[in-house]
Amino acid sequence: MTWLRDVLVDLADDSPQVDLAERTIAAHHRRRRTVVSLLAAGMVVVVALGATAAVRLLPDRRQEAASTGDLPARGVGPLSHAYKTFCEPARGEAPKGCKDGGWRVVTRSGETYHVPDALRSLAPGRTGLRDSPLAISRDGRKIAYYSADEGTFQVRDLASGRKTTAAQKVPKSLLGSVSRLMLSDDGRFVAFSKVPDFKDPALLIDMRGGAVRELPNRWVPIGLSPDGATITLAEYSPRSRLRTISNLWPSSSKGDTTSVILPVDYHFSPLAPDGRTVAVIENLSTAERPCRRGDLALMDTLTGEKRKPTVISGLPADVSQISLRTWLSAEEVTALTMSVRCRPASDVPDDEPAVIDQPYRTMTAYAVNVRTGKARKLATYRAQGFFEIVLPGPPGAL
């Protein structure tokens, strides 16, 4: 996944907005062997001609069997997760009622709904390069998304149906090919960032007051203080970094920034409940030695100091990929896992065809104790990867 992210950033740096897709196609021919190798190794979600990632999560069989209508105007219970559907998997079937690039939300009680107000993502390799993000508040009672009708971001209270629309328009052409959205616990603030940046900034939007704070792009928003005055960001390319920006308001202020450049590549969790710590797993993968990772550790976001790593126990022996997600308590963080076959790049034939949409695979969520490393199983889903599965609370960073 690190290789893929670097390719996306390189393409963004070298390409004007109007011809990114064309340059992406040319880049595919130069990098095809590496792309195919990493795809076969399960290191990345399938990319459209080597350009962008798309992740699709399906609910378990009980949820999938339920009918899927549009999100009701009001009266919807708290969510367990949301996922994006793409409808032409290389093998197997797409979910019933699939809408290409559309969002579905799943309640804790198992009801599944389409989100028709949310702009659909384009399907890489078939319709284009545009990612439309969605976020869920930590309590599962609100969602944020890019409204196709309003041309900007919108927050929706699921119980009352009340919608709050950002005062500033955001052209959909600026959504990027990989985007991230974070919704504050109370639904007041929305943070948006993406790759490629095209020189336009990331945004922190006060949905109630109307103010907009510009932020550095490429960085994934992984935490926000309750008052919206301090944000924590993580960056993955060209090297893993953490950044904390405080005194964000008024929006004209410079703010106070603390940045930490890390010596190796990490996968980050969202910000922990203490407001200063993240869980990390070192990414040890290479093209010839894929699907390798370090142990779990806690890291101070202001200093980069890492505590003694802890071996994760209780996972199946064949787990090859882990993505750190929602904190369940001060002691437990969610780990999404997949078990896929990993092949070195040299084992992949040059003429092996690239896959546009990966088939659905099993993805399992565990609660991992960050002190002891002990994991307990939470739920199992059918999925194609990690990038666009959304759980309540801030996202992690791969």
Cα angle 323, 338, 32 (rounded to 5 degrees) comes to 90
Average pLDDT over residues 13-27: 38
Q: How confident is the model at residue 27 (pLDDT cuts 50, 70, 90)?
A: very low
pLDDT score, position 104:
93
Per-residue pLDDT for 327 more than 70? Answer: yes
State pLDDT tens for residues 379-392: 988 767 788 789 99
pLDDT score, position 344:
83
**pLDDT higher for 329 or 385?**
329
Per-residue pLDDT for 349 more than 90? Answer: no
Average pLDDT over residues 283-302: 88
Q: What percent of the chain has pLDDT over 70?
A: 82
Q: How confident is the model at residue 258 (pLDDT cuts 50, 70, 90)?
A: very high
Per-residue pLDDT for 108 more than 50? Answer: yes
Per-residue pLDDT for 346 more than 50? Answer: yes
Residue pair 291/37 in contact by the 8 Å Cβ criterion: no
Average pLDDT, the chain: 83
Give the chain's domains with CATH numbers.
2-383 (2.120.10.30)
What does the block give as tokens for 93?
């079937």
Per-residue pLDDT for 299 more than 60? Answer: yes
Q: How confident is the model at residue 254 (pLDDT cuts 50, 70, 90)?
A: confident
Residue pair 204/188 in contact by the 8 Å Cβ criterion: no
Q: How confident is the model at residue 16 (pLDDT cuts 50, 70, 90)?
A: very low
Greatest mean pLDDT range, 124-128, 299-303, 344-348: 299-303
Collapsing DSSP to helix, strand or coil, 4 comes out as: helix
Per-residue pLDDT for 280 more than 90? Answer: yes
pLDDT score, position 47:
33
Cβ-in-10-Å burial (0-12, 13-18, 19+) of 240 comes to buried
Beta-strand pair 112-114/68-70: parallel
pLDDT score, position 340:
80
Average pLDDT over residues 58-74: 68
Beta-strand pair 112-114/102-107: antiparallel
pLDDT score, position 64:
52
pLDDT score, position 335:
96
CA distance 164 to 109: 26
pLDDT score, position 183:
98
pLDDT score, position 338:
86
Per-residue pLDDT for 72 more than 80? Answer: yes
Q: What percent of the chain has pLDDT over 90?
A: 59
Average pLDDT over residues 183-189: 97
CA distance 219 to 362: 29
State pLDDT tens for residues 2-11: 434 444 444 4
State pLDDT tens for residues 131-175: 999 999 999 999 999 999 999 999 999 999 999 999 999 999 999
pLDDT score, position 15:
39
Residue pair 195/178 in contact by the 8 Å Cβ criterion: yes
Task: Please state the pTM of the whole predicted model.
Answer: 0.83
Collapsing DSSP to helix, strand or coil, 103 comes out as: strand
Greatest mean pLDDT range, 24-33, 341-350, 374-383: 374-383
Beta-strand pair 231-235/241-246: antiparallel
Q: How confident is the model at residue 91 (pLDDT cuts 50, 70, 90)?
A: confident
Pick the range with the lowest mean pLDDT from 113-127, 180-194, 342-356.
342-356
> HSE on the CB side for 211, CA within 13 Å?
11
CA distance 38 to 307: 31
